[in-house]
A and B are shown apart, each in its own frame.
With several copies, the nearest count.
Chain A
Amino acid sequence: MKVIDTGNHIAALAAKMARPEVIAAYPITPQTTVVERLAQYVERGELDAEFIRVESEHSAMAACIGASATGVRTFTATASHGLLLMHEMIHWAALARLPIVMINVNRAIGPGWNIWSDMNDSMAQRDTGWIQFYVSSNQEIFDTVIQAYRIAEHEDVMLPVMVSYDGFILSHTSMAVDVPEQEKVDSFLHEFNSMWKLDSSHPITHGNIIMPDDYMEVRYSMKKAMDNAMKIIEEVDEEYGKKFGRSYGLVEEYKTEDADYVIVATSAIASEARVAIDVLREKGKKAGLARLRVHRPMPFSRFNYDKMIVIDRAVSLGLGNGGIIYNELKSRGDVYGFVAGLGGKDVNYKDIVKMYEMAEKGKEGWYGVEVD
């Protein structure tokens, strides 16, 4: 069925169709309509689940942890400061190996308060042990949320998954989305499955004091799970493709085969870049695009291009020019990095064309600020 709706409502719809048993979330712009819609589904009886209207995001993630540890599928959504306030519990969920799925609607961090798209919020969680997706369309939001549960709950993975997309640009933009039948989704997702659970008939304790050797093993097993995830993500995506007719991969390539320079970007900018590629090609430039869809695990091996132009909407200040993906990919070839679109500054295909042309001249840096 074709549905036309905002990214947030599509996210809520996908979550609903994944049949979580417990949802705990706290409102924050621009995520709010995800939560509102889910509350509505639950109150109208369209989704048979418990909705916990927590009093903060720290509690939202804690409640998901409690529910997941008790053995049910969970969902939450947040953005920006909400995500930051969860930070402690985000680490916790990963170390506890609980397959929680979370939407993060990317929004800049304050002060000053800025409600627009910027990926510093989720990128600042890159070291927490979560699998992280960055998606580019409402359709992909839907498909990725469903995939996320399969991946998170896969016995070789058992890690939480975060699906991020640009605030307003996707969250509040209506686009057409193909929504499959509930039965098809049901048959794609398996019964909830977890690595451990609390059950009074088999009492265990989770999370008491752990000594160094065991701790290092726990961390190593998470590393292995991430390694596995790289494969599982592709397998799940392929199976999804067979069933639903859409798949995306870890990195989505566009005209890269003969490209002189490959633009690397995520999310909305990556979509917009596709238009820029067409413009550049018309100009006779051999431009290509590699859209990074999965940032953790980072699919390093997919980046075998001679020359790359990385556009970052998040920065690690004090790390060269700051671009996070740029810095991570720097070792993979000749890389030009641009930081653009922070705090929701609009980045359109013309800007991207300009960046391309700057890179050709060996330039890189921050795009769109008066650099003195």
Chain B
Amino acid sequence: MLTEIIFYGRGGQGGVTAANILANAALKDGNKGVQAFPFFGAERRGAPVRAFARISDEEIYLRSQITEPDIVVVLDTGIMDVLDVTNGLKKDGLILLNSNKKPEEFGFDFRTATVDATGIAIEQEIVVGGIPVVNTPIVGAVAKFLGISIDSVKEAIMERWPGKAGEKNARAAQLAYEKVIS
């Protein structure tokens, strides 16, 4: 089975990193096909951007962009003023938002989940230049809906940032995995 995911965020917010960690975790879980890639734009810092991930138990031959995702992840709900994140989302698809609100408060016609990734980041002291790092908790949360083990996610995080930083991020992912509500 193939799952296609779009991450919405801002330039510099780490959407691509999230997609990468997710793909790596999926690989560890035995998925043969994994892909993670940025939207191929010419954007500068701050501008709204997208990142993509594909996960499958078989080799993936697709090389095109994702237009009809199974899951949409929103790292920064602020960008929902600028663009429609549900665009192309499959009817039975899922929206996962970084928010301390309840899913139903967003009133989407789609299955919706929320996790307070920002809150978790602040709590775990993963803040860079005053800005909370939300991509690791968000991966923890999305893993849940993909049936990817949180251990694989944490392993993937530790591979990327060995040591202290990794541990904090892994903990954030774990927390998000536990706290995400839908």
Contact = CB atoms under 8 A, between A and B. Distances in A.
- Chain A contact surface mostly: mixed
Given A116-B40, A173-B36, A175-B34, A274 B20 contact: no
Contacts, number: 65
A175 B64 CA distance: 14
Nearest to B37: A173
Nearest to B39: A168
A272 B61 contact: yes
B63 A166 contact: yes
Interface string A5-41: 0000000000000000000000000000000000000
Given A115-B42, A172-B37, A275 B20 contact: no
Interface of A: 2, 4, 115-116, 136, 166-170, 172-176, 209, 268-269, 271-272, 274-275, 344, 346-349
Contacts of B38: 168, 172
B175 interface: no
B62 A176 contact: no
Contacts of B135: none
Contacts of B61: 271-272, 274-275
A133 B67 CA distance: 30
B27 A272 contact: no
A166 B40 CA distance: 12
A4 B63 contact: no
A174 B36 CA distance: 5
B24 interface: yes
A29 to B, nearest CB: 9
Contacts of B65: 346, 348
B63 A271 contact: yes
Q: Which of B33, B34, B42, B64 has the most chain A CB atoms closer than 10 A to its own CB?
A: B64
Contacts of A272: 61-64
Interface of B: 19-20, 23-24, 27, 32-38, 40, 42, 60-65, 67
A312 to B, nearest CB: 16
A4 B62 contact: no
B24 A4 contact: yes
A116 B37 CA distance: 14
Nearest to B67: A348
A168 B64 contact: no
A349 B62 contact: yes
Given A175-B34, A176-B27, A209 B42 contact: yes
Contact of A174 (B23, B32, B40, B42): B23
Given A175-B60, A344-B40, A346-B64, 18 more contacts: A4-B27, A4-B34, A115-B42, A168-B40, A169-B37, A170-B63, A173-B35, A173-B63, A174-B36, A175-B34, A176-B33, A269-B63, A271-B61, A272-B62, A272-B63, A272-B64, A347-B64, A349-B62
A173 B32 CA distance: 16
7 contacts: A115-B42, A136-B63, A166-B63, A173-B63, A174-B36, A344-B40, A348-B62
A134 B24 CA distance: 26
A167 B61 CA distance: 17
B49 to A, nearest CB: 13
Contacts of A348: 62, 64-65, 67
Given A2-B27, A168-B40, A209-B42, A174 B20 contact: yes
Contacts of A172: 37-38, 40
Q: Which of A2, A115, A174 has the most chain B CB atoms closer than 10 A to its own CB?
A: A174
